[in-house]
């Protein structure tokens, strides 16, 4: 993801900053998100680990909604709905992949 973001443009057209900075931020946040989803499964009880992971995901989605509101001029309700729909699609894809 970081590599694709860094290669997407040089920042002059979109004004989104340098490719190295965008790639670094995207890579770091992807890593933090992945660790947040994965580390709870070091807990030996599967049900507790899943509950902790669900709380982590809810917090992550709330933070993404806040970032969209603050930096992308989206209303909080609209941002939350967009993020919730995206999260639901990812969840459904995971269920479909996991049950195949």
pLDDT digits (tens, 9 = 90+) for 69-83: 888 888 999 989 988
What digits encode the pLDDT tens for the residues 38-67? 899 999 999 999 999 989 988 988 988 898
Cβ–Cβ < 8 Å for 65, 86 = no
Residue 22 has pLDDT above 80, yes or no: no
CA 4 to chain centre: 16
Length of the chain counted residue by residue = 100
CA distance 49 to 40: 5
Residue 10, both tokens: 């040089």
Q: Which residue has the higher pLDDT, 33 or 17?
A: 33
Residue 12 has pLDDT above 80, yes or no: no
Residue 61 pLDDT: 86
Letter string b/e over residues 14-28, b meaning 16 or more CB atoms within 10 A of that residue's CB = eeeeebeebbeebee
Residue 20 pLDDT: 79
- What's the mean per-residue pLDDT of the chain? 83
């Amino acid at each position: 993801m970081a590599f694709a973001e860094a290669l997407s443009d040089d920042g002059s057209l979109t004004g989104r900053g340098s490719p190295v900075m965008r790639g670094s931020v995207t890579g770091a946040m992807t890593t933090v998100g992945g660790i947040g989803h994965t580390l709870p499964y070091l807990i030996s009880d599967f049900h507790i680990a899943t509950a902790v992971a669900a709380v982590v995901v809810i917090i992550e989605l709330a933070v993404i909604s806040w970032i969209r509101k603050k930096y992308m001029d989206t209303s909080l309700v609209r941002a939350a709905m967009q993020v919730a729909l995206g999260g639901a699609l990812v969840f459904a894809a995971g269920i479909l992949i996991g049950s195949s």
